[in-house]
Amino acid sequence: MNSQNNRAIAISISEQVKEIVQTLYTPPNDWPQIFQMFQGLHQTPPTAWQLNDHYYVVADYPTVQHVLRSDDFSSNRVRGIFKQSNTDPAAYEQLIQGFENWILFKDGESHTLLRRCTNQAFSRQMLDIMLPMMEECVDFLLSPFLAQPKPVTFDLIKEVAFPLPMLVIAKALGAKAEDALYLKQLSDRLTRVFFANITSAILTDAEQALFASRDYFLHLINQHRQQPQDNLLGALLSLQATHPTITDQCMADNCSMLLLAGHETTTSTIGNLFYFLDEQKLLCAVLQNSALFNPAIEETLRYSCPVQSIRRIAIKSVTLHQYHLQPGDCIEVLLGAACRDPNMFEQPNQFKLDRQHNKHLAFGYGRHLCSGAQLSRLEMHVVLNHLDSHSISVDRQQAKWRQQDTLVGLESLPITIQ
């Protein structure tokens, strides 16, 4: 009887997993509902499921960690995405190669070389150099509202969370501030390939965006070589000089990737930070005590993991729990569920500023841990620091969540400075 009950539970949870994955990739997303659905995934180990012949899902913290750090799985899923479309991948080979230049999709030695460059470019020393520029950017965005008679209401996402990381990365790469929005628009056109039903029109537009972005950054690279600057691009180029196998084209394509990657998590988490702190009635306490800034940022990252799911591809025959995967099989890695694993986090569905153990996976794990994680954290810290002497109310009733696959973030969040 127990075996029959266990089998029934396993089937029930498997159906729940299918529903979760379908919901993640079918906006509009009801995030509170999805977070609640995660609870059921951890009831019966192992938390890995096979949804079809070549597609698996993992959700518990140890298994997610294992998949992200293992050399048995690749992050290069570009060609698989194109194969699933109704288009001819061969017609877009230049676009595919452009994406495969991104460190996000590299493995092995080529990834190691680029990773070494980005890690050193985002070093503590470089962040210290960038900090005054970040503070200037935050001041530039907030000062028009802070100077007005109080109370003053504005959209935190539109006025601060969206433009800030875009400005910071663009300026750190030596781009003109007025070009930041143009560069972000190019990045958005590129990433539609990963968050839309692929059509030939989307691919053609993405290819044009790739060429435009590449040309822009190749021009910047040439400028920096003639007039070196002490900024992020300068650091990347100085490291490239010791690794001649990294081409200028590869470096230019990764500049575009940095603009994208440096934007999504930071924009989402700034909005989520204010939304969930207000929901928990903790916003005032945090703004009045800078010692709570870091715990608030880390708990927001765990609680509302901005990228809920990523994919990995098996590159060899490998056993994962009770399953035997073959090369080419896809694994859906539920980062958001792993960040709510009760075996790793005490009371995982509660927002706790005093959480003692918070090794969340919001920035990934292993060799693909986000190189710009500390930059993102620093930007959030600077925003809180600029608002710490003010009384702020958040209109959560008017908040609008973004409707984009697997990404937890707000499109609009009105706040009022009293």
In which element (H, E) is residue 55 found?
strand 55-58
Q: Write down the pLDDT at residue 8.
A: 45
pTM listed for this prediction? 0.92
Contact 400, 414 (CB under 8 A): no
DSSP 2-48: HHHHHHHHHHHHHHHHHHHHHHHTSSSP-HHHHHHHHGGGGSSS--E
Question: How far is C-alpha 411 from the geometric centre of its chain's CA atoms?
Answer: 16
Pairing status of strand 309-314 against strand 330-334: antiparallel
Rounded CA separation 372/232 (Å): 11
Rounded CA separation 393/304 (Å): 20
Query: What tokens appear for 368 in the block?
Result: 């693909």
pLDDT tens, residue by residue, 122-171: 889 989 999 999 999 999 999 999 999 999 999 999 999 999 999 999 99
Q: How confident is the model at residue 7 (pLDDT cuts 50, 70, 90)?
A: very low
Q: Write down the pLDDT at residue 407.
A: 85
Query: CA nearest 286: which of 300, 302, 306, 304?
Result: 300
pLDDT tens, residue by residue, 315-352: 999 999 999 999 999 999 999 999 999 999 999 999 99
DSSP 411: E
Tell me the mean pLDDT in the region 253-277: 91
Query: CA nearest 16: which of 42, 5, 309?
Result: 42
How many domains does the chain divide into? 1
Residue 261, CA atoms < 13 Å, CB-side half-sphere: 22
Tell me the mean pLDDT in the region 398-402: 92
Rounded CA separation 354/292 (Å): 9
Rounded CA separation 386/274 (Å): 14
pLDDT exceeds cutoff 80 at 20: yes
Q: Write down the pLDDT at residue 266.
A: 93
Q: Residue 347: exposed, middle, or buried by beta-carbon count in 10 A (0-12, 13-18, 19+)?
A: exposed
Tell me the mean pLDDT in the region 357-381: 93
Rounded CA separation 124/401 (Å): 33
Q: Which residues contact 196 (CB under 8 A, 6 or more apart)?
A: 202
Q: What is the CATH number of the domain that holds 76?
A: 1.10.630.10
Contact 224, 112 (CB under 8 A): no
pLDDT tens, residue by residue, 273-300: 999 999 999 999 999 999 999 999 999 9
In which element (H, E) is residue 73 found?
strand 73-74
Tokens 């980062």 correspond to 335
393-418: buried (b, 16+ CB within 10 Å) or exposed (e) per residue?
ebeeeebebbebebbbbbeebbbbbe
Q: Which residues contact 227 (CB under 8 A, 6 or more apart)?
A: none
DSSP 407: B
Domain range for 55: 2-417
pLDDT, greater one: 309 or 22: 309
Amino acid at 88: D
Q: Write down the pLDDT at residue 250.
A: 92
For residue 414, cis peptide bond before it (omega within 30 degrees of 0): no
Q: Write down the pLDDT at residue 1.
A: 42
Q: How confident is the model at residue 5 (pLDDT cuts 50, 70, 90)?
A: very low
Q: In the β-sheet with 55-58, what is the strand arrangement from edge to edge? A: 48-52, 55-58, 330-334, 309-314, 73-74
Rounded CA separation 85/193 (Å): 10
Q: Write down the pLDDT at residue 10.
A: 52
- Per mean pLDDT, which range of 57-66, 106-115, 249-258 is the poorest? 106-115
Tell me the mean pLDDT in the region 205-224: 96
Q: What are the DSSP E strand ranges found in 148-216?
A: 152-155
Tell me the mean pLDDT in the region 235-256: 88
- Mean confidence (pLDDT) of the chain: 89
Q: Write down the pLDDT at residue 9.
A: 47
Query: CA nearest 103: which of 115, 93, 117, 119?
Result: 115
DSSP 307: B
pLDDT, greater one: 10 or 363: 363
Q: Write down the pLDDT at residue 349.
A: 95
pLDDT exceeds cutoff 90 at 305: yes
